Amino acid sequence: MYVLGIETSCDETAASVVENGKDVLSNVVSSSLRFHAKYGGIIPEIASRMQLETITQVTQSAIRESGISLRNIGLVSVTSSPGLIGSLLVGISFANSLALSLGIPLVELNHLHSHIYANFLGNSKARLPVIALVVSGGHTSLFYVKSFKEIEPLGETQDDACGEAFDKVAKILGLGYPGGPIIEKLAKKGNAKKIKFACSGTKNPLDFSFSGIKTAVLYYVQRHKNEMDPKLRADICASFQEAVVSVLLQKAFLACSIKRIKSIVVGGGVAANHCLRQRLSEEAKIKGISAYFPPLSFCLDNAAMVAGLGYKRR
């Protein structure tokens, strides 16, 4: 079965055709990021306006690149929550009208569940059940995935999301937006042991909290503003990244031991972070746990993961 996926939960407008939940025939992503960069974050009105202007073209490109005709699509799959309400509405209305006009069913999906599914596309060796860590700009959550229809939330952030913390720390350091890739790059030149940053504890040990560490970085920068140079900036990035990655690892492995699960999958924009990929893979190996990350193109928002999960939920 060919499934058309549509994703418009944040700044991206994405469409993809996936065959039988596995083979990605096309994956088109148009981002309005450059229009938001000067504001230091996503402006919802700009995002939804750009999505309204581009969704038809993006979908046409995805159909054309897949090499199949619109008549052969058997199902439309769309992100319905969580996300920016105006942006979601563009995708949902478009997907609904298309499914109705083609006389085919529509499935509406949770965006975080789709990020998990990014690990099961293509010839991935990941097998259920798994613990899933979703780390994006808007969310940080742990799930127990028994089947693609039974996804149990285990914990989530009590304040800022993990990617949001990267973005805010980059802003404090005057590094631009989005912060994740910039911090990762600078951290490579820094000493991760220079400053002891730590994430706050949470009542539920599988929840997360990132607003405290962001404030700690802010106070550190204010206290050392006269010494700020590229070396110190790199040390701050490396020390911050180290603290965040450590807490993600600790909680993901704790979830595995509580649920007695031997596989972890990671999804969302922060899953593109090489320090997280490397540290989690290394420690998982020592613990006898299999760790999976999507290819970089499926970490950030895309519609292939939406089309793939749609097939499993039909």
**Amino acid (one-letter) located at 232:** L
Partner that binds at residue 48, options Zn ion, ligand KG4, none, CB closer than 5 to 8 Å by kind: none
Site for ligand KG4 in 70-129 (CB under 6 A): none
Length, in residues, of the chain: 314
* Stretch of 64-72, 232-240, 252-260, 269-277 lying at the interface with ligand KG4 (CB under 6 A): 269-277
In the complex, minimum distance from the CB of residue 128 to ligand KG4, in angstroms, rounded to a whole number: 22
Instruction: Name the strand (E) or helix (H) holding 143.
Output: strand 140-147
Q: Cα(170)–Cα(244) distance, rounded to whole angstroms? A: 14
In the complex, minimum distance from the CB of residue 141 to Zn ion, in angstroms, rounded to a whole number: 11
In the complex, minimum distance from the CB of residue 115 to ligand KG4, in angstroms, rounded to a whole number: 6
Q: Please answer whether residues 204 and 159 qualify as being in contact, where contact means their C-beta atoms are separated by less than 8 angstroms.
A: no
The verdict on 301 binding ligand KG4 (CB under 6 A) reads yes
Size, binding site for ligand KG4 by CB under 6 A: 20
Between residues 73 and 302, which has the closer beta carbon with respect to ligand KG4?
A: 302
- Per DSSP, helices labelled H in the chain are 33-36, 44-66, 85-102, 111-117, 162-172, 179-187, 211-223, 230-259, 274-287, 304-312
Q: Please answer whether residues 309 and 113 qualify as being in contact, where contact means their C-beta atoms are separated by less than 8 angstroms.
A: yes
In the complex, minimum distance from the CB of residue 301 to ligand KG4, in angstroms, rounded to a whole number: 4
In the complex, minimum distance from the CB of residue 268 to ligand KG4, in angstroms, rounded to a whole number: 4
Q: Cα(205)–Cα(109) distance, rounded to whole angstroms? A: 28
- Judged by the rule CB under 6 A, the positions of this chain that interact with ligand KG4 are 10, 136-138, 163-164, 166-167, 178-181, 184, 268-270, 272-273, 300-301
